[in-house]
Structure 1
Amino acid sequence: MAQWTRCPHAGAYRFDSASLTPHWGRLHQGDAEPLPEDPALLDAWVHFHNGEFEQAAQAGLRLGDAGWTLANKATCIYAHYIEPREQTRLDLLLGAAERAEAQQKAAPRNPNAWYWQAYAVGRYSQGISVAKALARGLGGKVRRALETAIALNPRHADAHLALANFHAEVIDKVGELIGGMTYGARKDTGLSMYQTALALNPGSAITLAEYANGLLMLAGDRASEEATRLMARAAAIEPLDAMEHLYADSARMALEG
């Protein structure tokens, strides 16, 4: 496998297991991942929060089943925000999706086994085009996985956010009528799920930014003022770790663009 590109914020954050622990709840308010009881797994998560995504993924894989969520999260965040080579990015996402599907069989009641499959397949779908992904049935796989994650943990903010994105992107690509009849996408459902995600994780730059993008897909130009306000809030959030820094960077680029 090709060496991963260094995160631009690696070195800016200096967590160790002791300093990470009191911030865990805040940093994982989106994905609701519990604080690891295994010191080795917590040490592996330190790599992730410091922006050492390749080391985090490798450490997670070395830990076997217990480290799959870490490996998948590190891979997905790296692939989407950092990896410059398109085919490598898609391959990484497919690999994460396959691991998550295996994790579902080993731990079917783990919400993040379902969430990271949905995230990986969803980002892969954006890479090949949402329309092509829908034609291949990937949209249904994403929706079912996210609905399962939410059923297992109704407070999984990121799953609500991703499912809101599903409704918004389907409607944006195929229209409200076909989106509803063929894929079960609903404008009011998408808007409601964005609001739920924000209520569960109000200080999240990615939630604010995705909500802003979703508003534009679901409501068009008439939502532009609200979308800009949400994106500005996202860009102004002070990041606590490398992943949040990538989220804030993305929001700032959207504002500038």
Structure 2
Amino acid sequence: MPHPDFKPLSLMSASPVAANAEPWTPLPYADVPRFDARSVLPHWQRLHAGHELPPPAEGTPLAEGWALYHSGEFERAATIGLLHGGDGQTLANQATAIYANYLEPREAVRLSMFRQVIERAGAQAVAEPENCHALYWQAYALGRYSQGISVARALAQGLGSKLKAALERVIALQPRHADAHVALAAFHAEVIDKVGALVGRMTYGVRAETSIELFERGLELHPDSAAGMMEYARALAMLHGESRMGEATQLFEKAAALKPADARERLDVELARVGLRD
């Protein structure tokens, strides 16, 4: 049964600020790398190491949109993406999901934004079954939305199975999709943490050893992923407790010491620093 607050995308405005009449919260850091439509392209491989998205053509609106995204102008990037359909949907979904996860302070707005991404990316995946970027952002938004309403509640609604299937499909389509490996690894760990190893294995097909293998592969593919390091650290704490807290702390230290390549990585590095202080 859908969450009572869930509304299909058809009932929402096409604007990325549909759930939020006010401008999006700006990035609070002045020390992020800045890009334009030309300068973003030479850095493309590093900036998209987690999912190997093909670059846009130089001088196009989407090149400008991605430059804005990597510079931390998430609202403007999402607006450009929505105006250009197709590949623009990936930009819009990524900008909206990342903004909602890191910067939106109001929980109701965050959840509404994740629902928008779930609907947009889900519709795109139906139309393009082999579009691994649509599947990945659908899964990412499902995961964050599930955390917002509680993982147990999301599992009861069948959202976990949908998320798992989407990520497994991404990895089948694009075996070097590092972010999908990390997200699926985190799913295995979180389900075990919430329902236990036995129920998790029998009901959802999750295993602690699979989680570790997926994290290791994800970080092998993208060794500079601060987000991947932090997710792995949290998973080690959930799956093994105090026995592996030393490794978890080392992962947070490594993430905190990284030099951010763009705005999203700047947000991740800050989270790692805060995690070490707490």
Do they fold alike, i.e. is TM over 0.5? yes
Match of 1:23 among 43, 47, 50: 43
TM-score between the two structures when normalised by the length of structure 1: 0.97
Give the % identical residues: 54
Tell me the equivalent position of 1:8: 28
2:68 aligned to 24, 42, 47, which one?
47
1:111 corresponds to 2:132: yes
Q: Is the 8 A contact 2:32 2:260 kept in 1?
A: no
Question: Partner of 2:176 in structure 1?
Answer: 155
Regions of 4+ moved over 4 Å: none
Query: What secondary structure is seen at the aligned counterpart in 2 of 1:181?
Result: helix
Show the counterpart of 2:120.
Answer: 99
1:25-174 aligned within 5 A: 25-37=45-57, 39-174=60-195
Gaps of 5+ in 1: none
Give how far 1:109 is off.
1.4
State the one-letter code of the partner of 2:159. Answer: L
Displacement of 1:11? 7.4
Contact 1:10/1:52 (8 A) holds in 2: no
Structure 2 CA distance for aligned equivalents of residues 7 and 46 of structure 1: 15
Change (3 A) 1:231 1:11: closer
Name the structure 1 match of 2:15. Answer: none
Q: Which residue of 2 aligns with 1:189?
A: 210
Quick one: which amino acid aligns to residue 204 of structure 1?
S
Q: Distance in 2 between matches of 1:11 and 1:55?
A: 19
* Residue 233 of structure 2 corresponds to residue 212 of structure 1: yes
Contact 2:32-2:266 at 8 Å conserved across structures: no
TM-score by length of 2: 0.90
- Distance in 2, matches of 1:34 and 1:212, equals 30
Tell me the CA shift for residue 12 of structure 1.
Answer: 3.6
Residue 107 of structure 1 and its aligned partner are, at CA, apart by: 2.2
- Is residue 242 of structure 2 the alignment partner of residue 229 of structure 1? no
Q: 3-state DSSP class of the match of 1:31? A: coil
In structure 2, relative to structure 1, the CA distance for the partners of 1:162 and 1:53 (3 Å cut) is same
Return the offset for 1:102.
1.1
What one-letter code is carried by the residue in structure 1 that aligns with 2:274? M
CA contact (8 A) 1:11 1:50 kept: no
Number of aligned residue pairs: give it.
257
CA contact 2:82–2:92 (8 Å) conserved in 1: yes
Q: Which runs of 5+ in 2 are unaligned?
A: 1-17
Over aligned residue pairs, what C-alpha RMSD do you find? Answer: 1.1
Cα distance in 1 between the residues matched to 2:65 and 2:183 = 26
Residue 7 of structure 2: aligned partner: none
- In the alignment, the residues of structure 2 paired with residue 92 and residue 197 of structure 1 have an alpha-carbon distance, to the nearest angstrom, of 27
Structure 1 pair 117–229 and aligned structure 2 pair: CA distance change class (3 A):
same
